[in-house]
Amino acid sequence: MLALQAKGLTVTARIDGDDVPAIRALSFDLAPGKILGLVGESGAGKSMVGRSIAQLLPAGFMIAAGSLLFEGEDLVRMAPARRRGLLGRAIAFIPQAPMTALNPVRTIGAQFDEHLARFGEAGRKQRRERALAMLAAARLPQAGDLLGQYPHQLSGGMCQRVLIAFAFASNPRLVIADEPTTALDVTMHPQILRLIAEMQRRHGTAVIFITHDLRLAAQLCDDVIVMYAGRAVESGPARAVLSKPAHPYTRCLQLANPSLRSERRALYVMPEQMPSLRQLRQMMGCHFAPRCPLAAEDCRRSEPPQIEIAAGRSVACIRAAATPGIATTRRATAVPDSSGRPVLQVEKLAKHYAIDRGLFTNARTFAAVKEASFNIAENEFVALVGESGSGKSTIAKLLVGLEQPSSGRILLNGEDLTDPSMRRGALRALSLQMVFQDPQSALNPRRRVTNIVTQAMEAGSRHASWEERQRRTSELLAEVGLSADFAARLPGQLSGGQRQRVNIARALQHSENPGCRRDRVGARRLDPGPAPQSFGAAARRARLRHAVYFPRPLGGAASLQPRAGDVSRRDRRAGTDRGGLRRSAACSHASAAVVGAAG
Amino acid sequence: MAGPLFRSLRSVRVLIALGMILCIAGCAIFAGWIAPHDPGDQNLLSILTPPAWVEGGDPSYPLGTDSLGRDVMSRLIYGARTAMLVAFFASIGAMIIGSILAHISGYFGGAIDWIIGRLVDVWMSFPPVILSLILMVGLGVGLGKVILAIVLVDWTRFCRVLRSEVLIVTRNDYVAAARLLGFTHWQTIVREVLPATLPLLITLVSLEMAIAVVVEAILSFVGLGVGADQPAWGQMIADARQYVYQSPWNLLLPIAAIFLTVAAFNLLGDGLRRTLDVRLAETGR
Amino acid sequence: MIATVVQLITRRLLAAIPILLVVSALLFGVLRLLPIDPAAMSLPPTATIAEVEAKRREMGLDRSLPEQYLIWLRDALHGDFGRSIALRRDAGSLVAATLPATIELAVAAMAIAALLGVGGGLLMFHLRGTLFEAVADFASILLLSIPEFLWGLILLFVFGVALQLLPFTGEVAPGLPLPHMTGFLLLDALLVGRFDVFLSACQHLILPAFALGLAFSPTIMRVLRSSLFDVYHEDYIQQARLRGLSEGKILLGHALKNASLPTLTLAGVQFGILFSGTLLVEVIYSYPGMGNLMVDAVRNADLPLIQAIALTYCIVVLMINTAVDGLYVVLNPKLRVR
């Protein structure tokens, strides 16, 4: 009997009075002990599947049609009490954000005890022993102490292991893992995946693994379904789908994800974005057509049906045969010639913070950055990589002047920026700008785009006329690939990708100023997808000469051909290394782990 | 900013509250035209008369008279003037001092924040009622003194609440970005931080007006308010309390007046908080 | 955990000392702004100028302001707060005689406010999503708008004058003895075994305590409701549902404990304000506590007494705030471990 079977599952959302399908006619079979991957960008509907199983859909959403059979019983039509009885016992969930998934004011032990008591483990002592056994199986050291601790005392990775222990503690027949590694550091991903695989094997559980990362799905899953705009566009055995994708979308996803190991090539840039639920109401034909490189007239007329192309493989595309032809250009492997003359020199930069300053205690210092040294020459892109907490953001702040270094020097074209003098402030503003990481807090929600990208014209005693500002706005928007009608919009009306572009445009404001170097310091979390391309594209278009940036998934770094500097957590030093991110013998252990995790 | 403010007019609460406040303010402004008598006019022949609709009432004194024969209705109307003057000026005053210090404290942090924080702590360790009583003892009675006393007591509340908000706003990257683009500190605070804290500020002013009305009433009740020559609702209550068996209306009417005024300001503050808060997250839509 | 709490309380108490010093100095300064002459006031109107001068010297009013303050401070540390000008008794003992009554009133009022507040908050939360929610919310704002002194007057009128159900003057019925052991009337009555005194004291306490409690319960109600709302949006509540826990278990076992933290902090702050609110209620009900004493002192411009009482209010409120902070650390694990 199948662990889970979906038959034509359709979930709708109420938008402006209409019911718009968020998941359309999804069907799949999950055999016991198998792992099924649901892959897609955010908004594709993958998480809705998990929520439908639990019947905990957000307000306005409902299951309009179809059925979800758990071991033969329809979850959709089941009595709520019976369904609640299944949750936590036969069906378990592994959450996306481990740090917030547990009650912060109760100990791990208390919550585990409550959980175990649900499935009839009698007696406190037995429950405690079972909890200890599960925690040990999850490779958590000192399980006994752990039970007495609170969630905030554990790291993200440890929390996730605890939650995996919770999930498998009841010997479930089905586990739904909703992006279990997204919120964790890259170095944690392989371990968590290994743990899930191990537990799954041990308990013989069927697993639904939801992720946006194709490669993770390839590593772990038996079968995979690629979802786009609520519909399964391709499904089949994982290795097959991902090595020889049939649907253009899958192929584009593959090409859009940077990889360190493969040959250096340009990242594929998919134009625009996946349609939102609102936009879906008006779309006719294949929903991927606006972005598809193979789109033809027929595609826009009606939605392509699911076609079975091989045993167990199906595709929803009428042009699937042409998919292997989608490719991007290879990049020249030679590093572009740089004149060698350093534009920015950082020498033994260090920053200490005093913490715990009390009247009677000595201040303890926390060294955020110790001895960072690197140079950026003309026409160079430098990537500083490292785990979270390794000091990258501090270096960024020191470079642009938001913080003052405790020691060391920063030389911009020979001028010492750490020297306290007045001119320095203005000069710095002209040549060193920062592209901030978080698109939510980087743009003032009350300023229109025009005011944001020409903000410098309001500074100090400058007064620019409205026409001047509008003219400049059009120029800047063109440089980052936005049309001029974005000028009047507010950040709340922009999508995430558009906000990033405005963010970049703001940093480029001064680039017209002749005779100044255009260094851009970007602290960017480059999530897979549009971001690396937009930064790179914008950077190229804006004649950005040199930049330092801090990508999280390392692959993004490779696509822009940087010289790599790495910041390791333990040492907090920055060293540089020419010629790509291949490891040389001299690198530290931590950075090797980072590179290894990036694949 | 104007957009969300106009949008808040669509909220039922805000409309009701504004309606009430306009009525009361109307009484305050046009007191001279509306009031049937001079509030200080004593008529010792008709003391403690009940309202006109009760037996024994006199239509020329629609709501009755107090223990000195003064017309209750006129005193209520002029009392509204006292209450509104105090509410308006005291809350604006407290707002100005409190918000300036809050913005400086939250934006610059460090030693300045510490000093202002300690100052607020010390100030707030005085229970407000006690402090205002003592200030009035020291300053003497009078309308201006009451306003001053309230400003001196309540600015700390503005400061503390706004400071938290300023801290949150300042942590946003766009504030740092403004500095990087060459804005001076002053420009950054006024153009980037203040528009974000403005909604909370406006809500607090409205709530402060409610508090000011209550404090004024308390001070007048105890006899340390605006002085015996100016009509005040608190005073009317103190007076009526002694004759509560003979004329209960004289007690109930000023109570109702205070309640309606305070409720109106509270409603306004609550309504504004709902509309301005949520709206800001959906700007432009 | 105990260590952290003790550390915190010690730190706060130490920090409270400079606060008290500054506060008392400010008090001193403000009161000296008065254009009255304490010396003249403590002598009969027939006193000659020379006698007034002599009295001034005796009271130390001819010294400079800082000197006067230091003298007062020195005396205060020895427990001598000066003599009340109007009542001609030691200020310190006057305060000590009336403080217990105020504490009794405040504690009773806080208990009522807590019960009504928590009950009301849970009810409002339970009504969420229904039509009644808007009604309850509106009602709570209206309730908020009635300050304690208005409640005092309304309750006095309705239950005291109109319905004549409850007494509204004083602490006990006249004619009953006032046992004095601890100073707390309710306690003393029980200890001595006089249940009639106890009953009468309770009756007299009802109206003033409810006046205060009703005034402060809406705030607690609203904070509990909004904290519960916030907590229910948190991730771990959704996760608990996914683990199959029932809504009842979620509310009691998870949500309430988290929501109680901000509610408790607010309730603690409210207690401080409530304590100072006792002043008005005491005046309205002629309840023999510190508040009544203060108002009389203020009307008589009785400086030493005013100072003593104001300082006492400050000390009590500071102690309450410190206790609340300590309690918060006990309840919130995030603050406990460094």
Judged by DSSP in three states, A371 sits in strand
Distance of alpha carbon A351 from alpha carbon A371, whole angstroms: 9
A497, A272 contact by CB (below 8 A)? no
Q: State chain B's mean pLDDT as an integer.
A: 87
For residue B275 the two structure tokens come to 């509309």
* Predicted pLDDT of residue A565: 47
Alpha carbon distance C307, C24 (integer Å): 8
Give the least confident one: A139-143, B79-83, C178-182. C178-182
The per-residue pLDDT for range C45-69, each reduced to its tens digit, is 777 788 778 777 777 677 777 777 8
Q: Report chain B residues whose CB lies below 8 A from the CB of A490.
A: 283-284
Residue in chain C closest to A114 (alpha carbons) equals C245
pLDDT of res. A164: 93
pLDDT at C73 over 70: yes
Q: For residue B177, which residues of chain A lie inside 8 Å, CB to CB? A: 434, 436, 442, 455, 506
Q: How many CB pairs under 8 A join B and C?
A: 105
Proportion of chain A above pLDDT 70, given as a percent: 72
Task: Tell me the pTM.
Answer: 0.78
CB-based contact B280 A445, cutoff 8 Å: yes
In A413-512 the beta strands, taken as DSSP E runs, fall at 415-416, 432-435
Q: Which residues of C touch A108 (CB under 8 A)?
A: none
**Cβ–Cβ of A458/B184 closer than 8 Å?**
no
Please state the rounded mean pLDDT for residues B238-246: 87
Contact A492 B176 (CB under 8 A): no
C229 in contact with chain B, both atoms CB, cutoff 8 A:
no
| Residues of chain B contacting C150 with CB distance shorter than 8 Å | 255, 258-259
Check pLDDT > 70 for residue C328: yes
> For testing the chain A interface, which of B173, B183, B190, B191 should be mutated: the one with the most A CBs within 10 Å?
B173
Per residue in A483-508, is it b (16+ CB within 10 Å) or e — as a string?
eeebbebbbebbeebbbbbbbbbbbb
Cα–Cα distance measured from residue B260 to residue B19, given in angstroms and rounded to the nearest whole number: 12
Instruction: Give the DSSP letter string of C221-233.
Output: HHHHHHHHHHHHT
Contact A540, A560 (CB under 8 A): no
pLDDT digits (tens, 9 = 90+) for A349-401: 788 777 655 555 566 677 777 777 877 776 666 667 666 566 777 777 777 77
d(C-alpha A234, C-alpha C204), whole Å? 79
Higher pLDDT, A443 or A517: A443
Residue A532: predicted pLDDT: 45
The answer to whether A267 touches A282, Cβ cutoff 8 Å, is no
Tell me the nearest-neighbour CA distance from A398 into chain C, angstroms: 29
Beta-bridge mates of residue A349: A372
Position A570 pLDDT exceeds 50 = no
Give the Cα separation of A367 and C72 in Å (integer).
Answer: 50
Asked if the model's pLDDT at residue A562 lies above 50, the reply is no
Mean pLDDT within C236-264: 87
B224, B228, B233, B235 alpha-carbon torsion, rounded to 10° = 60
* Contact (CB, 8 A) for A213 and A184: no
What confidence score (pLDDT) does residue B3 get? Answer: 66
Tell me if A438 and B282 make a contact (CB, 8 A cut-off).
Answer: no
Instruction: Give phi and psi for A522, each to the nearest 5.
Output: -115, 120
- Average pLDDT in the A225-234 region? 89
Q: Is pLDDT at A345 greater than 80 in this prediction?
A: no
User: How confident is residue A118, by pLDDT bands cut at 50, 70 and 90?
Assistant: confident
pLDDT in tens, B180-210: 888 888 889 998 999 888 888 988 999 999 9
State pLDDT tens for residues A398-425. Answer: 777 777 888 888 877 777 777 666 445 6
| Lowest-confidence pick of A174-178, B49-53, B89-93 | B49-53
> What sign for the dihedral angle of Cα B131, B134, B138, B140?
positive
Give contacts of C245 with chain A, Cβ < 8 Å.
Answer: 88, 114, 118
- One-letter amino acid identity for C235? D
Span A64-89, average pLDDT: 88
Interface ipTM: 0.83
Strands across the sheet containing A91-94: A91-94, A174-178, A206-211, A35-39, A223-228, A231-237, A313-315, A307-310
Are B46 and B58 within 8 A, CB to CB? yes
By Cβ distance, the residue of B181, B187, B285 closest to A429 is B181
Do strands A407-412 and A342-355 pair parallel, antiparallel, or not at all (unpaired)?
Answer: antiparallel
Dihedral of CA atoms C192, C193, C197, C200 in degrees, nearest 10, equals: 130
The amino acid occupying position A106 is R
CA B250, chain centre distance (Å): 24
Beta bridge partners of A65: A10
The predicted-structure confidence for A43-57, as pLDDT tens digits, reads as follows: 677 888 888 888 888
> Chains touching chain C at 3 or more Cβ pairs under 8 angstroms?
A, B
pLDDT number for residue C33: 67
- A115 alpha carbon, distance to own chain's centre: 31
**Candidate from C144, C161, C295 with C-beta closest to B222:** C295
**Residues of chain B that touch chain C, judged by Cβ-Cβ distance less than 8 Å:** 13, 121-122, 125-130, 133-135, 137-140, 210, 214, 217-218, 221-224, 237, 241, 244-245, 248, 251-252, 255, 258-259, 262-263, 266-267, 270
Check if C31 contacts B (Cβ < 8 Å).
yes
**Nearest residue in chain A measured CA to CA from B285:** A493
Q: What is the pLDDT of residue A364?
A: 67
How far is it, in rounded angstroms, from Cα A533 to Cα A478?
A: 16
**Cβ–Cβ of C239/A93 closer than 8 Å?**
yes
Set of chain A residues whose Cβ sits within 8 Å of the Cβ of B192: 444
Chains that touch A (3 or more CB pairs under 8 A): B, C
Paired with A574 in beta bridges are: A372, A567
The pair of structure tokens assigned to B222 is: 């105890």
Instruction: State whether A150 and C244 contact (CB < 8 Å).
Output: no
Within 8 A of A93 by CB-CB distance, chain C residues are: 239, 242-243
Going by pLDDT thresholds of 50, 70 and 90, the confidence category of residue A339 is: low
Residue B284: which of A441, A455, A490 has the nearest Cβ? A490
Chain B nearest-CA distance from C58, in A, is: 23
Q: List, in order, residues 6 or more apart from A277 with CB less than 8 Å away.
A: A13, A15, A20, A22
pLDDT score at B233: 94
